Amino acid sequence: MLFRSVVEGFADWEPAHAVAELRRHGQYRVESVGLTLAPVQSMGGIRVLPSRTVTEVDPAEVAVFILPGGDRWENSPVEPEIAQLVKRLDAQHVPLAAICAATVAVSRMGLLRGRRHTSNGLEYLRSHVPPGYSEAANYVDVPAVRDRGLITASGLGDVEFARELLEELSVLSAEDRAAWATIFRSARLPGTG
């Protein structure tokens, strides 16, 4: 199953390509995980009803755990329940994917240590993770990075984020993943110029 965190104000569009393609081509069932089972409103105003709470997630069922961005990661500490689950998943080598401001959350959890990663810019991480961000040597200035089960992406790298998730889970062939990413990034179908 594919699990995605849904907390108040999450950036609903950021994982949209990844969730749709993993469900469509990978046949993954999607579970929305909240702090409670109460409805959550996304940054875009979409109301989502979590199907599980973070305390109900069994790591054995998780193929990947996606953390969408949202302003809350910049302005609030990571809830202990979320941090505990994400760290447990990482320790059990379950792939994790954080996009945009969720890269701040995984940095605060200590999950970037020794891993190549990206975000909304090196200065962005430095300004939102003081004094704990000490991984500048592993920062890569590209839209998305995958390193040992952790995928990180800029908020502008939703297509690249999806492509890295497809590759991490071996969904589609390498050729089809590249074609898919080219189509969605260029807004042109193959052979149309």
Distance, in Å, from the CA atom of 54 to the CA atom of 120, rounded to the nearest integer, reads 26
User: What residues of the chain score a pLDDT lower than 50?
Assistant: none
CB atoms within 10 A of CB 60: 7
- Label residue 74 left, alpha or beta by phi (over 0 means left) and psi (-120 to 50 means alpha): alpha
* Placement of tokens 């949202």 in the chain: 70
What is the pLDDT, as a whole number, of residue 193? Answer: 63
Distance, in Å, from the CA atom of 36 to the CA atom of 39, rounded to the nearest integer, reads 8
**55 phi/psi in degrees, rounded to 5:** -75, -15
Could you tell me whether strands 144-147 and 150-153 are parallel, antiparallel, or unpaired per DSSP bridges? antiparallel
- Label residue 146 left, alpha or beta by phi (over 0 means left) and psi (-120 to 50 means alpha): beta
* Size of the chain, expressed as the number of residues it contains: 193
